[in-house]
Structure 1
């Protein structure tokens, strides 16, 4: 396997850490800047919104850029955004810097996945993508807890300097070890959005969107949600996030094999049902360390395990448009993260912070409705053939 994939994975590790580490230091940001934790939570919202909205735009606008230049530019913007966050004296500048970091993720992440696929032979592309994407999940599983731990030893600004250092190391790796890569064929903006005209795609993306909205309503405000067991200690929270990250990695690695054996539908529905129960019980399970650990392990296993069969279902609709579909999948996830920051903030304002799991469970239940609706449409291939031919004409 091409070693350059590891360089791309390191960049994705920095992006993944930057995406998810903020949730673990919101309390510190709130106290340091003298703002509510709900306002501090918009750091997550603005990063995710910037990524979701700008990814397809950057892909179209920078289509003619050499891939290495775009990757380096994305990491440079990431480092700049994190440095601004680390030194910002006000919440307004902090929030603006998170928009900048979201732009960086929009520049780097889709480019890295496409580049990884282009570095290997067609029969190795699946493995190449899994290596690159593993960098992102590793950032979530290990980078974010480490950043939270650093924040506990020092402060939240040290956490942002840590993320900036990761981005700098990744920039150096790309600059030194990643050779120039041919620019791919240009796909304009309208063609990138063409798959959305297929109801099967929209319903599958909607499933992903509402389930991840439910998950991140809790995740964005996980620090106050688990305060009964963490007692405000960042080290305990970091340990819990690390444990969930290990479970998430295990869920991701095993979900593909299980989907091959049992089928996407069965695995998707089972994961959603388990997540609904897990989140509905969080107001009670999060009061004890033992039951919190169990709840987070289930969350990691089934939350990330749910994503793999969903992606397989999405690709299976039209395999020739897989890169575009996976790009839309990422957009749906980050739109969900941005919406969850707003919804979670509203829920904390009007309800008890320990009741966020119940709010999240409502959205996850809606995911089951969309999943079955999508399955119903996918099971009617003759009805979809004509539309699909029109939608994807010229896309791939």
Structure 2
């Protein structure tokens, strides 16, 4: 191995010594990014599966559905606040060690949740689990980017963040079905089992020593927030995904007329949403590579608004509910990758930092969905939640267009060349 090749390796010099051990390490590295995606799937499942078991959790612990929804809020808010802080605090540590510690904390939190005697204990245990989740996701994104050659970092980061979409497609429906048959505590044991698999996989496949440069401190990590263009795009993520997750967080009461409270039927709805959402995310990613992110996000938000307005007409029967889930799911998760695309295009060199900020904002949106949804249920019942979400989607569209205008002005305020954002990373999604 010559010196140039060695300098481009994602492994540190100690790990890239041309020996048989190095060959084995490179073989393991090939599967490291998919494994990081799977581990993200395991962690995302906890966040999304809670929406499917809120009625069972509330009944068992003697709290209302709105109060039970604050478990989602506590988890997501903890992630949103701690993600950038923990990522900065651990930036100088070995990546695999940080990842394993994060999954371990997450695992402990979910085991404690499964054993919790009361609602307050559940909240605290889920906040512990969220500490691990908040540390894992940005670390996994940076690690994935460092494991691939230049020009493929965007796809590596997308592979990790797509684990969240996969969690809606498989993890949440399976966990909901388990909860419907065996109770919500069995669902938490299911989530813990996924975490164990992720822990084993990361330990086996992610190299022990990885060169993963990071910003010097929290100020550097948050520096992109000074850019009005970045701030506008992140605000679009915040408002848009609050609109997306209000009906998702409270999917059980919103679709109760169609499911009759049956966990199996609810799992079918969630599975359908996850599959359609995954396809929508992949399709939107391909379109963003070709057309730029702004237009895809605009169409998705208009589509999302229309589907949310029509929600009340489709929740009375299971067949129409399936149809509405399909229409809603295409738009809901078609926003994810184009938003990342827009951020990365603004500053490709800061891709991992921007994506980690977007992840923190996404968690904040999920937490707000729990709060806004609880207020909405208390005010007008579950039937008003889609209409509240539709209003937020319109606001997100306006902010998105503002961000587009800012993106086409130079830093001195003069107009930049017209046209949508140029593609950043081919194949992202």
Q: TM class by shorter-chain length?
A: over 0.9
Specify which of 265, 275, 285 is matched with residue 236 of structure 1. Answer: 265
Shift of 1:201: 0.7
Gaps of 5+ in 1: 386-396
Specify which of 80, 83, 94 is matched with residue 108 of structure 2. Answer: 80
Secondary structure of 2:334's match?
helix
Specify which of 13, 38, 57 is matched with residue 29 of structure 1. Answer: 57
Gaps of 5+ in 2: 1-28, 415-429
Specify which of 346, 354, 372 is matched with residue 325 of structure 1. Answer: 354
Shift of 1:39: 1.1
2:149 maps to what in 1?
A: 121
2:421 maps to what in 1?
A: none
Deviation beyond 4 Å, 4+ runs, structure 1: none
* C-alpha distance in structure 2 between counterparts of 1:52 and 1:253, whole Å: 25
* C-alpha distance in structure 1 between counterparts of 2:284 and 2:266, whole Å: 26
1:266 maps to what in 2?
A: 295
* C-alpha distance in structure 2 between counterparts of 1:202 and 1:377, whole Å: 10
* C-alpha distance in structure 1 between counterparts of 2:240 and 2:213, whole Å: 34
Post-superposition Cα deviations, 1:272-317, rounded to whole Å, max 9, x if no partner, equal 1110011111122212223211221122211111222221111122
2:219 maps to what in 1?
A: 190
2:310 maps to what in 1?
A: 281
Task: Report the count of equivalent residues.
Answer: 385
Specify which of 364, 369, 372 is matched with residue 401 of structure 2. Answer: 372
1:199 maps to what in 2?
A: 228
Secondary structure of 2:331's match?
helix
CA gap 1:268/1:27 in 2 versus in 1, 3 angstroms = same
Shift of 1:185: 2.9
Query: Computing the radius of gyration over CA atoms, which structure comes out larger, 1 or 2?
Result: 2
Given that residues 282 and 355 in structure 1 are in contact (C-alpha distance below 8 angstroms), is that contact kept between their aligned partners in structure 2? no
* C-alpha distance in structure 2 between counterparts of 1:315 and 1:74, whole Å: 26
Which one is further off, 54-63 or 262-271?
262-271
Post-superposition Cα deviations, 1:342-378, rounded to whole Å, max 9, x if no partner, equal 1100100011211210011111110011011111111
Please give the TM-score of this superposition, normalised by the length of structure 1: 0.94
* C-alpha distance in structure 1 between counterparts of 2:242 and 2:78, whole Å: 16
Post-superposition Cα deviations, 1:163-191, rounded to whole Å, max 9, x if no partner, equal 00110111111222322133533420001
Given that residues 283 and 356 in structure 1 are in contact (C-alpha distance below 8 angstroms), is that contact kept between their aligned partners in structure 2? no
Which one is further off, 121-130 or 317-326?
121-130
Shift of 1:124: 2.6
1:137 maps to what in 2?
A: 165
* C-alpha distance in structure 2 between counterparts of 1:236 and 1:205, whole Å: 35
1:357 maps to what in 2?
A: 386
Post-superposition Cα deviations, 1:49-69, rounded to whole Å, max 9, x if no partner, equal 011100000011111221111
Which one is further off, 187-196 or 278-287?
278-287
- Cα RMSD after superposing both structures: 1.5
Secondary structure of 1:122's match?
coil
* C-alpha distance in structure 1 between counterparts of 2:350 and 2:87, whole Å: 15
* C-alpha distance in structure 2 between counterparts of 1:185 and 1:227, whole Å: 49
1:303 maps to what in 2?
A: 332
**Bigger helix fraction:** 1
Please give the TM-score of this superposition, normalised by the length of structure 2: 0.87
Given that residues 117 and 129 in structure 1 are in contact (C-alpha distance below 8 angstroms), is that contact kept between their aligned partners in structure 2? yes
